Amino acid sequence: MRATAGPVTKFIAGVNIALALIVLIPGLYSAVTIAGALIPARFTLGDAILGDAGFILPVWLTPISSAFLHGGILHVSLNMLMLLMVGANIERVLGSKAYALLYAAGIAAAAAAEVAANPQSPLPVVGASGAISALFAAHMMLFPRNRPRNWGAIPGKWIHAGQLLVGWVAFNLMLGFAGPGIGLNIAIWAHIGGFLAGLILTWPLLNWRYRNA
């Protein structure tokens, strides 16, 4: 069943689209991207790597700001389409508070994974796909095609989570291998980090919602 987008999903989509339109103003795109992008080397080597870049946000804010910036209209359109496809159902099941926590955890985990994997990279990373990966994981956990079976004493839902993680990692490694050949630089570790956060947090957040209902 396709649910209507809830308030958090609408808010996230609205902010992303508004920022994408703002940076279309001539001269703003590069300045805004440098100011707010996640640049892994800033965490390990400091802001000196940027030279005289002008205004930049504090490095600890960039995991959040980068999740609301995109590399163009096509980039934001694809991400917001994916957000609306899965976010409405997840927000309906988890409730707005738990859903917002899941999205925030996806942002944090995506940034942490990208910095850990490429600690000295000076390349700016932008986009909501790491956080949306957490929603994809939640959707796959909550709406499996087949009921997961237990393996002995291991609950089926965790077996299912492990299978999803292996598949997601393999898929993203293939994207990372093929992307440069077609002109795409894909932050695969951000996708993997966000997805892992979704796998870990979906059931605890669901339980938390109904304990506090």
pLDDT tens by residue, 19-33: 999 988 878 888 898
In this prediction, residues 26-51 reach a mean pLDDT of 89
How far apart CA 196 and CA 193 sit, in angstroms, is 5
pLDDT given at position 182: 46
Half-sphere exposure of 66 (CA within 13 A, CB side): 29
| 1 pLDDT more than 70 | no
How far apart CA 75 and CA 54 sit, in angstroms, is 26
How far apart CA 37 and CA 124 sit, in angstroms, is 5
5-19, 41-55, 117-131, 169-183: least confidently modelled range? 169-183
Q: If pLDDT is split at 50, 70 and 90, which confidence band does 183 have?
A: very low
| 147 pLDDT more than 90 | no
pLDDT given at position 169: 81
To the nearest 10 degrees (0 to 180), the angle between helices 7-22 and 73-94 is 170
Does 165 or 179 have the greater pLDDT score?
165
Backbone torsions φ then ψ of 118, nearest 5 degrees: -135, 65
| 2 pLDDT more than 70 | no
42-56, 66-80, 176-190: least confidently modelled range? 176-190
pLDDT given at position 48: 86
pLDDT given at position 199: 93
Question: Quick check: 183 and 126 in contact, CB under 8 A?
Answer: no
Structure tokens at 123: 């390349």
Does 54 or 182 have the greater pLDDT score?
54
pLDDT given at position 143: 86
Longest dimension (CA), the chain: 61
Name the nearest CA neighbour of 123 among 71, 171, 61, 169. Answer: 71
Name the pTM for this structure.
0.89
| 184 pLDDT more than 70 | no
Q: Which DSSP state fits 137?
A: H
How far apart CA 54 and CA 23 sit, in angstroms, is 17
Q: If pLDDT is split at 50, 70 and 90, which confidence band does 92 have?
A: very high
Give the percent of the chain with pLDDT over 90.
56
Residue 3's Cα: distance from chain center in Å? 21
User: Considering only the top CATH level, what class is 7-211?
Assistant: mainly alpha
Q: What is the mean pLDDT of the chain?
A: 87
Q: If pLDDT is split at 50, 70 and 90, which confidence band does 72 have?
A: confident
Structure tokens at 93: 């099941």
Each domain of the chain, given as residue ranges in start order, spans: 7-211
| Residue 93, C-beta contacts closer than 8 angstroms, at least 6 positions apart | 142, 206
